[in-house]
Amino acid sequence: MATLLATIDDLRGPTATLPVDASLAYPQPMTPAPEDSALMLRYCDGDVSAFETLYRRHNDSLYRYLLRLCSDPDAAQDVFQDAWGKIIKSRDRYRPTAKFSTFLFRVAHNCFIDYIRRNKRHTHQDVTEPDEQRHPGDQPEALVEKSLAKERLEVAIRSLPDEQRDVYLLHEEAGFTLDQIATITDSNRETAKSRLRYAVNKLKQALELASEPS
């Protein structure tokens, strides 16, 4: 059998010796996905399906950003709906001068600021230690460690100041650069960089503490 296969390979020649996955190196001809700005402009012309496509691209990342930022699912949903509502209402004034995602997260950031102003009682939630909540004896050890690390990170993110958390989430969740973050948060690049550094250091420390053997 092995000799037969070798004979067949010889007959096919050198091209046949390519691995099966090599075909993936060549991109298949396909219609490129329309850009966000084009979809938004189509929606401005009345194409609701274009808006749906645009929404499906960004809804989850925006929701997670707001969920981490607000630390409250209900507030996150309110801010989320408020942000999309503003984009829908102001579609006629939309000009594709910047990336749509930048525009979207800037609107969401402003909605979050408004939300904080409306709710003065918004404060940092009390951070409860995950060790006090869970009972690791009920789960396997690896899962316990993993879950513990996630919870510690969650707690660490919540414990960050709003500005640092905002910058970190914009960087980690949406993948914005420092310039884009500065644009979204209406600050300069150095401020955004400093906030990001502080946030990352704190989160690292939180992870290292979680990974250390008790």
Distance, in Å, from the CA atom of 49 to the CA atom of 51, rounded to the nearest integer, reads 5
Instruction: Pick one of 17, 119, 128, 177: the residue that binds another protein (CB under 8 A).
Output: 177
Kindly list the distances between the CA atom of residue 78 and the CA atoms of 107, 117, 195, in Å, as whole numbers in the listed order. Answer: 13, 14, 26
Minimum distance from residue 2 beta carbon to another protein (Å): 42
Q: Which residues, 6+ apart, have CB-to-CB distance to 25 below 8 Å?
A: none
Which is nearer to another protein, 17 or 49 (by Cβ)? 49
Which is nearer to another protein, 73 or 96 (by Cβ)? 73
Size of the site for another protein (CB under 8 A): 40
Considering only the stretches 25-33, 117-125, 135-143, 195-203, report the one whose residues sit in contact with another protein under the rule CB under 8 A: 195-203
Pairs from 88-96 (Cβ < 8 Å, separation ≥ 24): 88/51, 91/40, 91/43, 91/44, 92/44, 94/40, 94/41, 94/44, 96/37, 96/38, 96/40, 96/41
Which is nearer to another protein, 7 or 175 (by Cβ)? 175
What's 13's DSSP letter? -
Task: Give me the residues that bind another protein (CB under 8 A), please.
Answer: 43-44, 46-48, 51-52, 55, 59-60, 63-64, 67-68, 77, 80-81, 84-85, 88-89, 91-92, 146, 149-150, 153-154, 171-173, 177-178, 193, 196-197, 200, 203-204, 207
